[in-house]
Structures are given as structure tokens and as C-alpha cells.
Chain A
């Protein structure tokens, strides 16, 4: 369990109040300890549910969520950043073709999973954004991780109510990014660029009925970094009937 500083301070305050109660009443020592333990457990669970990665990212509070009214995919599993360098087509392609961890292009991690890259353990975090975009700068800074010259892997699972043909994945990213749908690379956008809605579009593709895995690698040079993604239908209107989850449906 990862608790942020605010949560820890809140728990310390609760314990302090419990001790005050112990000293000022005739309660037996066992009772306050039990109460404190319960409070601690409750507060920790609440803190986990409300875990924040900055002003716009939280830990998902339910299993699945519909795409936003504008079709944006707002739930993602994101791996803590990996150090890389370069935003040109060739540098980005070389970065995403480097094997950092096993099954890099097929794994569907769980929240809290760790991968070892060199001597460093990096953690996958489930996040939900309140905006159309996922702010990776907030994400990395909240975890005290680097935000420049880094690569973020992100995965989400999109559940489609029926098989859909002729749809396109539409993405934007700061900066470069490469995207896969159900294991197929479908888009790459390169260079030092800002996130623009529907900046890059895939060719027309098919979404299966049920689960579809969307994966991306976003590479930042310096400064702000974020991404956004949605699917467009055959007439380029956002698909809003999709369900988005960070867990594979059972």
C-alpha cells in the first residue's frame, strides 16, 4: 500500500487523538488500541481509494467506466517512467523496440505490479483522469519520478458491446508516441509536439466484441507530458458506447 504524505499525517493525527483519549479516560489499554487499529485500517483503505497523482488523476474507484461523453478513454495502467533519449522517428522506434521487461507488448499488468528494469523496480499504477487527457507530468511528479527524457508505457482494456468495423484510434500526445490495438501497431507520431485531440489517427480497424487491449508508449523530451485517446466511428464521430477498465473482465 502506498500512502501519500497527507494521508500519513492524517493517520498520525488520529493516533494522537486516541492517545489523548487513553490518558484522559478509564478505558483499558486494549480498547483504544483496537479502536486505533480499526481507524488506521479504515483510513488506509480510504486513502488508497482516493490516491491522487496530482489534480486530475486518481485511483479508479470502480471496475469499469464508460468512455467519456466525448469518447475519451480515461482509465489506464501506467508504468513509472523509463529513462530514454530522443524524439525523432528512428529514436522513438528504437526506444519502443527495446525489450525493457518480459511480454512488453502483450502483458496486461495489475495495479501495483512491479517490473525490474536494470537495478530499478518500476510499478504499474491504475489511474483515472478527470480530463480528456492523462497528465503524465502530474503522474511522474507525484511519484517523485523524472518527467524529462522518459518513456511511459500505458495499457487499458476497452470493452466493445459488438464487433465494430471501420473505426479509428485517434490519439494525441506530448511528445512522441506509438500505439497498439490488440497487439498490432497502429499509429506513431513523432517529434517534439503538444497534445492535440485526434492528432494521429490509425487506419480503419476492427474492434472485437468484448475486450480489446490498447497500449501506448509515450516519450517525453522535456516539460509537460500527457496523452489522450479515443475511438472514432466510420464517420469520424467519437465512440461513446465503449467501456474502459484497468482489469480484464472476468
Chain B
């Protein structure tokens, strides 16, 4: 890293405050930001704060717009909500790097229109003197769910990532005379999370601020104490530069950094980050929100759902969602014992028909399907048309945290999955855009999907697609501890 990182971050942040177009299924609206804080909700709106005062606000977590700058701006803020206060920690250089300090400010609302919106100064929480092996920027906040203690990790390349304890009642240092504890080295943008008895330290490795040439990637180590030692999956300590890759560049995005946990409860977790360069947005630095999965005790970055045709298979039963019509075998019906070929010759019981059997044409096999509503059921998946679903983002229908709403239709038709007033399912003949016909799909920790209608007619309950028998699907309250509402989306 060079001595100019912080200045470059600030410059980049100013560039990314430009309004950006929103192609594809990445977040919608104005999502240009660098070093975003953890996303936080206040009075139903989502907020994140970035380097240089870049603030993003969203009503639904999908479409974003510019928001009001807090009273302080600076480098790579982080935010936490404790009690009735929102604490923001913001770094600034106070001389040549690595001389820096992290200031705290707090408010009781993040909404500038609220009477409670008033930023109060909390003072300097930690600093680095320019000589010591630490650069006091990039704060990361962690409220320990085990004991309620509040911790701040900070640091950026010049030496160590460090840990200090904060007072959750004031946001200030719990014990100002305690020496910070070194946790990791040669990384930045650290933060911690707790999962299943382990503390995980996430930090960003690689270089930032070079657009598509940035090597940013997020790595992780774990420990059984908040004090470490944090080791990666190879047993290498993060104090020796270790770290298991959590997420790197891929697809059309380069340089993910600045992890932020979004624990939505019921076993649903997501994370926020920024990419140094989104190639679909001219290489700008943008916000993203993705599923957070777990595998063998390690966090894994999930992928946002891609539009396409899928088999929707119950993890519980192994059967696939289909409309209740009489299926036609792919390639047509075939008598037991095989078909006879011309001249009496035959391929026998297991010889097939010869040649490639094309995918089933829904237009051909659907001629006998009822014209109106069709019931839903589940069956063994055997590649038939009534078992293939197109999952397509619905434009101008809003969204939820990290995703647009989707319609789910039988592939090649407009027959749409819909919730009914009695909490059951039906396929309606045509998609009309009603809230009972649009769906949110959230990837769960094990990689399966939770599928929920935006609303159920006549109900305020949040219900999820549920397998209650081998051959039946309904809607029911989500129960994270069982498999009824976990679905695999398989490419047919």
C-alpha cells in the first residue's frame, strides 16, 4: 500500500457520488459508494455511510438514493444501533499516514426529517501517532451477543488490526487506559461477527482504489475468543497475514471490500460490501448486498439470484413443484419393452429412440391444460414442462433487502404462481402483477432458498412456500429449524 490510500479513497468516493444507471439484477438506483458502513435500519428505511460523506438511503433495501451527510465525514465509517442511539465512527487523517484518529458521533434518528435527528459529538475514540504499527482508520463495530460487550476493531495496513472495548451506553472507550490488542496484520476494513460459538474476524486484503485493477478481497479467520488468536482454515494466524478467502472478484465485479453483516433473523443472513469496479457500471465503485451462507463452520458468499428457468425442489421431500396437470413423458409415451423400428427391428427395452430427444415444448404438451386456475402439487422431477419455472425480476414492483421481487411462471407460458386467500397456492392463467403473484427469494445459510409471496390476500402474515407432504405445497409461517420451507433451485 502507498501513503496515499486515504486520499485516493476520498477522491474515489467523490467520483462515485454520481448517479449511476441500474442494469441487471444488482441493486437499483444510485448505488455509487466507497467503503460503505454496515447497513442499518431506522424507521423502516435503510442507510449506509461511505468515505467522503457518501450516504445512501433506501425504502426497501433494493432501490437506493442519495441521503443526507452526517455532521462529520471522513474515511470508511461504521455504524451501530444500541438502545435509542445510532453511533457512527468515522476516521480522519491528522497528518501524514499512519497518523489518524477515529471520532464518534451519535444521533437518535438517521432521518433528517425526524425531530430526533441531531448529531452529537462523542470525541476521539482511538488514534495512531504516525509512528506506532497501526493506522487508526477503518472502524468496525461488534456487539458480542454472548455478553453484550461492545468492541471496536480498526486499522489499515500500517501494522496491525487492533481491538478496544467500548461502553455500549456511551459509545466511548470502556477503559481508555487499556492498551489496544493486536488481532491481525496487513489488511484493513475489519469487523467481527459471532456464529455457532466462534468469533469471526473479517478483513479486506489487497489493494483498493484502482478500479478494475484493484486486488481487494475479503478474508476471514476465526477464534473461540474475541481476543483471538484468529486462524484461517489452514491454521495460519491472521497476525501472520492469514485469512481464508470469503469473497473475491468474479463475474462482472472486481475488488469486493468492507464486509458488513446483515443478520435478518430466522437463520437468514446477508452481507454488504462494495466493489472497487462494477464493469457493468463503467468500473464505478458500488454497493452490493449478497446472501451469507455457512459451510463447514466458515462463512461463504452466496450469489444473488439469476433470472432463468429452474426446477423448484423441496429439500425436505426431494419432490419438485409442478402444476397439477397430466404430464407427458419427454419424447412422448413409449410402450413398455421399447419401440419397434422399421422392418420389425427394435432397440429393445433400454435402447432409447435413437437420436437426441429435444427438451419438451410446452406449447405442444399444454394443449390439454385447463384454461383457468390450476392447482399446485409436487412430484418426482422428470424434466416435464409443468415442472419448469421461469423466475424473472418484476420491474417497477420494488424489492426487499438486496433483491427485486420476482414472478414465478411455468417456463414458456404466462401461468403464474400465486398465493390464495386461504393460504394455499394456485397457478393463475396470466401474470397480472398483483402482490400475491410477486415473490421474494432469500438464500438461506445452507444455500437453499426461502420463497415468500409479497403478500397473501386478506392476511398480514408473512408466509413461505412450504412442503407439508411429499406431494403437496402450501404456505405456512417460516420455521428456520426445519426443512419444510427450504427449496433448491436447480437449472433444468
Contacts and interface: CB of A to CB of B under 8 A. Distances in A.
Given A88-B326, A89-B325, A90-B326, A199 B424 contact: no
Contact of B470 (A196, A232, A236): A196
B263 interface: no
B267 interface: no
B471 A201 contact: yes
Given A88-B326, A90-B326, A204 B471 contact: no
Q: How large is the interface on B (under 10, 10 to 19, 20 to 34, 35 or more residues)?
A: 10 to 19
Interface string A82-99: 000000111000000000
B471 A168 contact: no
Nearest to B484: A236
B456 to A, nearest CB: 13
Nearest to A88: B326
Contact of A236 (B325, B377, B468, B471): B468
A149 interface: no
Given A88-B326, A89-B326, A199 B471 contact: yes
Contacts of B422: 203-204
Given A89-B325, A89-B326, A90-B326, A204 B423 contact: yes
B348 interface: no
A172 B319 CA distance: 15
B472 interface: yes
Nearest to A190: B326
Decide if the interface of chain B is mainly helix, strand, loop or mixed. Answer: loop
A198 interface: yes
A198 B472 CA distance: 9
Contacts of A90: 326
A201 B326 CA distance: 18
A40 B355 CA distance: 71
A237 B318 CA distance: 21
B468 A201 contact: yes
Contacts of B433: none
Nearest to A170: B469
A59 B186 CA distance: 80
Nearest to A204: B422
Interface in B404-447: 422-424
Interface string B463-478: 0000011111010100
Nearest to B319: A199
Contacts of A198: 468-470
B424 A201 contact: no
A165 to B, nearest CB: 11
A200 B378 CA distance: 9
A189 interface: yes
Nearest to B473: A201
Nearest to B425: A203
Given A203-B422, A204-B422, A204-B424, A232 B325 contact: no
Contacts of A200: 377, 469-472
Contact of B424 (A88, A190, A196, A203): A203
B469 A201 contact: yes
Contacts of B377: 200
A233 to B, nearest CB: 11
Scoring B324, B422, B472 by chain A CB atoms within 10 A of each residue's CB, the highest score goes to B472
Interface of A: 88-90, 168, 170, 172, 189-191, 196, 198-201, 203-204, 232, 236
Given A170-B469, A204-B474, 8 more contacts: A88-B326, A89-B325, A90-B326, A189-B471, A198-B468, A199-B470, A203-B422, A236-B468
The 6 closest A-B pairs by CB, nearest first: A201-B469, A201-B472, A89-B326, A198-B469, A199-B470, A200-B471
10 contacts: A170-B469, A190-B326, A200-B471, A200-B472, A201-B469, A201-B471, A201-B472, A203-B474, A204-B424, A236-B468
